[in-house]
């Protein structure tokens, strides 16, 4: 075979991707309506009611909002009922499904099948098996909290999230959402701290309402995450080891056409992709995940799906399911989904906007300005608490989104910067500044942008007005906050947990202040407004309605004393700060400092390991793909030149000059590769902690950038038939 066979797999993959047929899915024709299908594979309250007494269903409903204990008797009855339901639908196995501190979920399946003494098969599932399992946990990250010899961690049923049937072509598994805890009771997962944060925020919010004489039995945290991702053809994906192993391209020259024409955003969705999405939605519908929106995103081959918002713990489980089902169904459609925050250089990366709000037991949204004065006072109280949270604990919000892939987005011109600020919009900002100025509006005043301190009049807040600024990391959007700094690959549990913690603390401070005012004899409305004003005045520095992408904002933010933690290793240090440790421990979200330090270690190690994969994949691709292609081209060019020189008696001058330039580029690549080798060796020497992480963030990535720039330049010069790696234009425009 000639050397040009190098590009054959690439050409064939491009052709294959154009010739794919679109798989259909079972059930597509007999779907009556979404309502019939919704949740049909979940053991929801409706299913429970068919076999469990009403009193049991009531207990489970109460547990879902208040937490508490589930008795073994109740667990036994639920186990029996769910076994009957699941096996009748074809399930053969069950598994606890949990969320260790990795990017994916974990499960270990057990058959219902047991054999009795007479060798007769029986199906067994008890309350004990439902409530608690002991997987061998030695290989999950624990940040040094468990030595391998004491590997016993256990998983505990989370009765607040419905069990569901995970289906494959050949069978079904009863899947039980679970917590993952060490033998000594420390949280080893992302769900346990999330649940704790929801409970403590509930407590403080209920207390705030009761101080305002607005009773509710509980307050719910609601979240709606907007998931962004790229979709590319599977054959092309498989020819890119960097995508397969690191989730992102570490090399690749940007195509002449990227996103500059703005022709992808909200355009018609590609046929292969929309058909895949439809199957994803159908499968998620069965699992009770209410997917609501789908659309093209800014970059070519980039998309977004979002559910109807749900209670935070359920939203977090469902986002994990969305990601898992997308991955699985995409494979069936010969597609690959990329959740990495920055799979392609010079194109927009992917994030995950987290919409967040609080509601009362009757569903009233606490971040919704209302018609009645009391409702507006309440609204201002919770609004102020959120602003104060970003002010007092901005660093905590920053570290909640510190995942390695996000470093390539945060602060560049497409994603909110690493400075945490709040956008309130023109109308609300005016309301707040009037409040701070103590402006009273007399009863004859009807101007819509001022507030009457006596009756707390708030003008209607136009959604368009609040939604115009897309550059703020934390924006008020009419009746909720949108935390926009999340990375697309991350579990939303950690950002919600940290945000809940920060808001609980604000509410706690405000409640204390309010209680003191009330004790001092102030009228309730005046005391509440005083508390609100104080919170806004104290948090002034963090409010910013301008363009957060503007470099001027960075300077201004620094003057205002706001921190700007650009890289993951820098941001992770926040977890070691005394105020953060105190906050987590005081609120009971973590048990003690060591538990937080364990997380710090896990995140730091993860940063180093992921970056090492990127560095090493790049090194190998340069060595085995780019460099050999460059040398082959050099050789054929050299032979051609010398042949021509033999005929003419002298080399053709322009070609010779160009060739010399080319040779020096290849030479520069060779040096850069050696440099990269040295950098990787140094990372290994530094270990997998802070020192290595800092070295990577400051120097190693720069060495990679230098090598990449040379390789990407060569990609645009070397003869196409010698180039084996699918190019950006093929990855992004072949569907």
Q: Which two tokens stand for residue 404?
A: 């390695």
Of 409, 480, 611, 690, the one binding ligand ADP by CB under 6 A: 480
Q: What is the 3-state secondary structure (H, E, C) of 97-111?
A: EECECCCCCEEEEEE
Binding Mg ion (rule: CB under 5 A), the pick from 158, 226, 233, 595 is 226
CA-based nearest residue to 420, from 446, 391, 379: 391
Q: Which of 127, 141, 307, 411 binds ligand ADP (CB under 6 A)?
A: 307
- Give the one residue of 210, 293, 413, 642 binding ligand ADP; rule: CB under 6 A: 293
Q: Identify which of residues 265 and 637 has a Cβ nearer to Mg ion in the complex.
A: 265
Q: Is 479 in the site for ligand ADP (CB under 6 A)?
A: yes
Residue number with CB closer to Mg ion (161 or 227): 227
Q: Is 222 in the site for ligand ADP (CB under 6 A)?
A: yes
SS3 of residue 209 by DSSP: helix
Phi, psi of 168 (to 5 degrees): -125, 180
297 part of the interface to Mg ion, by CB under 5 A: no
| CA angle, 17 then 23 then 25, to 5° | 155
Q: Give helix 593-621 / helix 578-587 axis angle, nearest 10°.
A: 120
Binder of residue 679, out of ligand ADP, Mg ion, none (CB less than 5 to 8 A by kind): none
If one counts every other C-beta atom within 10 angstroms of the C-beta of residue 464, the result is 9
Q: How far is the CB of 480 from Mg ion (least distance, A)?
A: 13
Tokens describing residue 48: 């429970």
Angle between helices 271-286 and 312-332 (to 10 degrees): 130
Query: Please, what is the minimum distance in Å from the beta carbon of residue 262 to Mg ion?
Result: 16
User: Which of ligand ADP, Mg ion, none is residue 224 near (CB under 5 to 8 Å by kind)?
Assistant: ligand ADP
252 binds, among ligand ADP, Mg ion, none (CB under 5 to 8 A by kind): none
Q: For ligand ADP, which stretch binds (CB under 6 A), given 2-10, 303-311, 559-567, 631-639?
A: 303-311
Dist. CA 654–CA 334, nearest whole Å? 47
> How far apart (Å, rounded) are the C-alpha atoms in residues 219 and 203?
8
CB 420 within 8 A of CB 398: yes
Residue with token string 């710090």: 600
Q: State in angstroms the smallest separation of the CB of 534 from ligand ADP.
A: 26
Helix-strand-coil percent breakdown of the chain, rounded to 5? 50, 15, 35
Residue 574's CB: how many other CB atoms inside 10 A?
A: 22
Cβ at position 57, least distance to Mg ion in Å: 35
Any contact of residue 138 with ligand ADP (CB under 6 A)? no
- Segment interacting with ligand ADP, rule: CB under 6 A, options 40-48, 53-61, 188-196, 304-312: 304-312
Pick the stretch among 67-75, 351-359, 399-407, 546-554 that binds ligand ADP (CB under 6 A): 351-359
Question: Which residue in 98, 309, 344, 695 binds ligand ADP (CB under 6 A)?
Answer: 309
Taking CB under 6 A as the rule, does residue 421 contact ligand ADP?
Answer: no
Instruction: Kindly report the three-state secondary structure assignment for every residue of 442-494.
Output: CCCCCCCCCCCCCCCCCCCCCHHHHHCCCCCCEEECCCCEEECCCECCCCCHH
Give, as ranges, the residues between 682 and 701 that touch Mg ion (CB under 5 A).
none
Judging by DSSP bridges, how do beta strands 132-133 and 121-123 pair with one another?
Answer: unpaired
Q: Are 394 and 563 in contact, with CB atoms under 8 Å apart? A: yes
Taking the least distance from each CB to ligand ADP, the nearer of 182 and 357 is 357
Q: Which stretch binds ligand ADP (CB under 6 A): 302-310, 439-447, 525-533, 688-696?
A: 302-310
Least distance to Mg ion, CB of residue 225, Å: 10
Residue 131 token pair = 């409530």
Q: Which range of residues in 4-12, 218-226, 373-381, 543-551 is near Mg ion by CB under 5 A? A: 218-226
365 binds ligand ADP (CB under 6 A): yes
* Contact call for residues 304 and 295 (beta carbons, < 8 A): yes
- Determine the residue with CB nearest ligand ADP: 224
Tell me which stretch binds Mg ion (CB under 5 A): 51-59, 148-156, 221-229, 358-366.
221-229
**Rounded to an integer, what distance in angstroms lies between the CA atom of residue 314 and that of residue 220?**
11
Applying CB under 6 A, which part among 89-97, 173-181, 218-226, 408-416 lies near ligand ADP?
A: 218-226
172 binds, among ligand ADP, Mg ion, none (CB under 5 to 8 A by kind): none
Among ligand ADP, Mg ion, none, what does residue 605 contact (CB within 5–8 Å per kind)?
none
357 is in the binding site of which of Mg ion, ligand ADP, none (Cβ under 5 to 8 A by kind)? ligand ADP
CB of 226 to Mg ion, least distance (A): 4
Please pick, from the candidates 308, 460, 516, 537, the single residue that binds ligand ADP as defined by CB under 6 A.
308
Q: How far is the CB of 409 from ligand ADP (least distance, A)?
A: 17
541 and 561 in contact (C-beta within 8 Å)? yes
Question: Residue 60 to residues 44, 76, 303: CA-CA distances in angstroms?
Answer: 11, 13, 37
Number of Cβ atoms within 10 Å of the Cβ of 450? 20
Whole-angstrom CA distances from 331 to 106, 232, 291 are 20, 11, 20
Contact between residue 359 and residue 220 where contact means Cβ atoms under 8 Å apart: yes
309 versus 695: smaller Cβ distance to ligand ADP: 309
186 forms part of the interface with Mg ion (CB under 5 A): no
- Written in H, E and C, the secondary structure of 517-560 is HHHCCCCHHHHHHHHHHHHHHHCHHHECCCCCCCHHHHHHHHHC
Q: State the binding partner of 479 from Mg ion, ligand ADP, none, CB within 5 to 8 A by kind.
A: ligand ADP
User: Cα(355)–Cα(547) distance, rounded to whole angstroms?
Assistant: 20
Quote the least distance from Cβ 208 to ligand ADP, whole Å: 18
Number of residues in contact with ligand ADP under rule CB under 6 A = 15
309 binds, among ligand ADP, Mg ion, none (CB under 5 to 8 A by kind): ligand ADP
Nearest approach, Cβ of 374 to ligand ADP (angstroms)? Answer: 20
With contacts defined by CB under 5 A, name the span among 223-231, 341-349, 539-547, 630-638 that binds Mg ion.
Answer: 223-231
Choosing from 306, 322, 451, 507, the residue that interacts with ligand ADP (CB under 6 A) is 306
| DSSP per position, 77-131 | HHHHHHHHHHHHTTEEEEEEEE-BSSSS-EEEEEESEEE-TTS-EEE---HHHHH
d(Cα 502, Cα 508) in Å, to the nearest integer? Answer: 10
Total site size for Mg ion, rule CB under 5 A: 1
Task: Pick the piece of the chain touching ligand ADP (CB under 6 A) from 184-192, 210-218, 326-334, 354-362.
Answer: 354-362
Confirm if 140 and 178 have CB atoms less than 8 A apart: no
Stretch that binds ligand ADP, among 305-313, 391-399, 648-656, 712-720 (CB under 6 A): 305-313
Are the C-beta atoms of 451 and 324 separated by less than 8 Å?
no
DSSP 8-class letter at 342: -
Smallest distance, Mg ion to C-beta of residue 304, A = 5
Residue 296 or 357 having the CB closest to ligand ADP: 357
Q: Is 689 helix (H, G, I), strand (E, B) or coil?
A: coil
Q: Is residue 384 within 8 Å of residue 507, measured between CB atoms?
A: no
Contacts of 633 (CB under 8 A, 6+ apart): 662, 717, 718, 719, 722
**Interaction with ligand ADP in 27-56: which residues (CB under 6 A)?**
none
Specify the residue, 142 or 355, whose C-beta has the smaller distance to ligand ADP. 355
Selected from 357, 497, 567, 619, the binder of ligand ADP by CB under 6 A is 357
Please pick, from the candidates 224, 495, 569, 726, the single residue that binds ligand ADP as defined by CB under 6 A: 224
The contact set with Mg ion (CB under 5 A) reads: 226
The residue ranges that bind ligand ADP (CB under 6 A) are 222-224, 226, 293, 306-309, 355-357, 365, 479-480
């Amino acid at each position: 075979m000639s050397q040009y066979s190098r590009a054959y797999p690439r050409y064939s993959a491009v052709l294959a991707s154009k010739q794919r047929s679109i798989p259909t899915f079972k059930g597509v024709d007999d779907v009556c309506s979404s309502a019939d299908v919704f949740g049909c594979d979940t053991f929801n309250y409706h299913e429970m009611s068919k076999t469990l007494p009403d009193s049991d269903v009531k207990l489970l409903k109460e547990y879902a909002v208040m937490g508490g204990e589930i008795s073994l008797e109740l667990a036994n009855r639920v186990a029996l009922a769910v076994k009957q339901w699941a096996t009748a639908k074809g399930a053969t196995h069950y598994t606890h499904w949990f969320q260790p501190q990795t990017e994916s979920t974990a499960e270990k399946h057990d058959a219902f099948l047991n054999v009795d003494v007479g060798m007769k098969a029986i199906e067994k599932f008890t309350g004990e098996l439902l409530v608690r399992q002991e997987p061998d946990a030695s290989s999950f990250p624990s940040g040094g909290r468990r030595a391998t010899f004491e590997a016993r961690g256990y998983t505990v049923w989370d009765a607040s999230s419905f069990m569901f049937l995970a289906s494959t072509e050949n069978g079904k598994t009863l899947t039980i959402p679970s917590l993952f805890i060490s033998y000594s009771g420390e949280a080893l997962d992302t769900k346990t701290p999330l649940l704790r944060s929801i409970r403590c925020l509930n407590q403080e919010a209920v207390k705030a309402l009761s101080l305002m004489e607005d009773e509710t039995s509980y307050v719910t945290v609601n979240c709606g995450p907007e998931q962004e991702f790229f979709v590319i053809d599977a054959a092309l994906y498989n020819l890119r080891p960097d995508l397969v192993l690191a989730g992102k391209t570490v090399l690749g020259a940007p195509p002449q056409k990227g996103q500059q024409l703005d022709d992808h955003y909200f355009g018609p969705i590609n046929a292969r992709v929309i058909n895949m999405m439809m199957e994803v939605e159908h499968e998620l519908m069965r699992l009770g995940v209410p997917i609501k929106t789908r659309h093209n995103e800014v970059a070519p081959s980039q998309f977004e799906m979002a559910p109807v918002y749900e209670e935070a713990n359920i939203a977090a489980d469902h986002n994990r399911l969305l990601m898992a089902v997308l991955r699985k169904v995409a494979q069936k459609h010969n597609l690959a989904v990329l959740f990495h925050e920055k799979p392609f250089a010079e194109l927009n990366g992917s994030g995950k906007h987290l919409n967040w709000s609080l509601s009362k037991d009757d569903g009233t949204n606490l971040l919704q300005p209302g018609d009645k004065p009391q409702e507006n006072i309440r609204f201002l109280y919770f609004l102020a608490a959120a602003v104060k949270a970003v002010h007092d604990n901005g660093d905590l919000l920053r570290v909640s989104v510190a995942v390695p892939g996000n470093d390539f987005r945060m602060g560049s011109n497409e994603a909110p910067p690493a400075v945490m600020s709040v956008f309130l919009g023109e109308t609300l900002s005016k309301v707040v500044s009037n409040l701070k100025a103590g402006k009273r509006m007399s009863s004859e005043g009807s101007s819509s942008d001022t507030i009457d301190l006596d009756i707390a009049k708030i003008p209607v807040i136009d959604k368009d007005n609040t939604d115009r600024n897309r550059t703020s990391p934390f924006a008020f959007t009419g009746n909720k906050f949108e935390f926009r700094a999340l990375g697309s690959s991350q579990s939303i549990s950690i950002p919600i947990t940290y945000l809940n913690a920060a808001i609980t603390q604000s509410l706690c401070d405000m409640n204390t202040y309010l209680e003191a005012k009330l004790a001092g004899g102030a009228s309730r409305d005046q005391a509440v407004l005083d508390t609100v004003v104080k919170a806004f005045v104290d948090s002034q520095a963090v409010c910013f309605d301008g363009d957060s992408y503007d470099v001027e904002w960075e300077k201004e933010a620094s003057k205002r004393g706001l921190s700007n933690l650009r890289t993951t290793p820098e941001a992770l240090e926040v977890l070691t700060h005394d105020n953060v440790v105190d906050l987590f421990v005081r609120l009971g979200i973590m048990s003690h400092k060591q538990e937080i330090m364990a997380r710090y270690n896990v995140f730091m190690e993860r940063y180093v390991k992921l970056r090492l994969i990127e560095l090493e994949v790049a090194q190998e691709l340069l060595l085995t793909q780019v460099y050999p292609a460059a040398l082959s081209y050099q050789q054929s060019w050299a032979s051609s030149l010398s042949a021509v020189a033999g005929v003419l008696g002298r080399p053709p001058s322009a070609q010779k000059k160009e060739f010399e330039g080319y040779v020096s580029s290849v030479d520069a690549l060779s040096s850069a590769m050696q440099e990269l080798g040295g950098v990787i060796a140094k990372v290994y020497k530094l270990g997998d902690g802070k020192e290595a992480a800092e070295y990577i963030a400051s120097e190693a990535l720069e060495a990679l950038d230098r090598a990449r720039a040379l390789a990407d330049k060569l990609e645009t010069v070397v003869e196409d038939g010698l180039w084996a790696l699918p190019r950006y234009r093929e990855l992004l425009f072949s569907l």
